[in-house]
Amino acid sequence: MDLVAVRTFVAVADTGRFHEAAALLSITQQAVSKRVAALERDLGVRLFHRAARGARLTADGQAFLPHARDLLAAEERAAAAVRPGHRPLRVDVIGRQLAPAGLLRDFHRAHPGVALDVVTLPDAGAAVAAVRAGAIDASFRAVTVPARQLPGGVEATRVFDEPLQLLTGPAHPLAGARALRPAELAGHRIWMPGIVPGTEWAAYYAELAAAFGLTIDAGGPDFGIEPLLDAVADSPATATFVGARTHLRWPADHDLRRIALRDPTPVYPHSLLRRGDNPHPALATLRAHLGPPGFGAGTWTPAWAA
């Protein structure tokens, strides 16, 4: 199998757009299209639904994606076996538009000489297993178990607490608020179709809902962030949660509102997972760059994040 085409497929799946994948890979958009088309011919299936707003994985594409990541990881392990000490620092983030990716971009700007390989694994369980096996050097994740219960050699250090915000359309009854208490959201529909059962973020939002009597609706298909923003913009009754450090773009006529949450401020607890015996020279540099979480008084996190 052509691993160059596989890498291109993963780049499109991660970015959701052919032109963004092209920029990520430093090639032309036409080259991206040709590589993906060649891979589809080899596999005999369509991997993406192509539309003006971007590329969305087909069912076959979703089935192929984890295997594609495994192929690339195997390639990297094979190469690393003969060039020890020279490979990039491989770091897992929960999503490329979310706060941990922003933390890594800040790190890269501060330390441009450190080569980075950014990956996205399905959940914290997969991340812990990959850190333990040495397939990745570090991961930014919420950790739902005590550090002492993490498997052999894996350590977790809380490094960033990201405040949540409520995102509404202009017709929503809460749209005019500058700040809200979490309890004031009771009775309002908060739609989050990206919540996957069994993940650490599912555990976080379940506890958040229970603590403040919220209705968090995870039903319906998850078509990605842009359709979610469209739905929130058009609805007088639907809102969603976003992180304060999550960078989103939407059409000006959406007129979406980011509303701060106070008294207390729910924060999402990002920890850095790594092996204490990992010898990669850039890992200590990353840890030193991150510093303490920065939040505490007046915030809320689940009991397992204490």
Taking only the tens place, the pLDDT of each residue in 86-97 is 678 999 998 877
Tens digit of pLDDT at every position of the chain (306 positions) = 899 999 999 999 989 999 999 988 889 999 999 999 999 999 999 999 988 778 999 999 999 999 999 999 888 777 765 554 567 899 999 887 788 888 899 999 999 999 898 888 888 888 999 999 888 999 999 999 887 788 878 999 999 999 999 999 999 999 999 999 999 999 999 999 988 888 899 999 999 999 999 999 999 888 888 899 999 999 999 999 999 988 888 999 999 999 999 999 999 999 999 998 888 889 999 999 987 776 678 999 999 886
- DSSP 8-state class, residue 46: -
**Buried/exposed 7-36: b ≥16 CB within 10 Å, e otherwise:** bbbbbbbbbbbbebbbebbebeeeebbebb
Which among 292, 291, 286, 15 has a CA at the least distance from the CA of 138?
A: 286
* CB proximity list for 296: less than 8 A, separation 6 or greater: none
Could you tell me which residues are beta bridge partners of residue 242? 165
Q: What residue segments make up the domains of the chain, in order of their start? A: 1-85, 163-267
Which pairs from 83-86 meet CB under 8 Å and 24+ separation?
Answer: 85/281
Looking at CATH, the fold of the domain delimited by 163-267 is given as D-Maltodextrin-Binding Protein; domain 2 (3.40.190)
Task: Sort 44 into a burial class: Cβ within 10 Å, 0-12 / 13-18 / 19+.
Answer: exposed
**Measured distance CA(44)–CA(36) in Å, rounded:** 12
Q: How high is the pLDDT of residue 96?
A: 79
Looking at CATH, the fold of the domain delimited by 1-85 is given as Arc Repressor Mutant, subunit A (1.10.10)
What is this structure's pTM?
0.69
Which among 75, 36, 38, 71 has a CA at the least distance from the CA of 57?
A: 36
Residue type, 25: L
**Measured distance CA(129)–CA(85) in Å, rounded:** 22
Residue 292 in tokens: 């303490």
CA of residue 49 relative to chain centroid, distance: 22
Residue type, 208: L
Q: How high is the pLDDT of residue 83?
A: 57
**Measured distance CA(237)–CA(148) in Å, rounded:** 43
Angle at Cα 50 formed by Cα 47 and Cα 51, nearest 5°?
Answer: 155
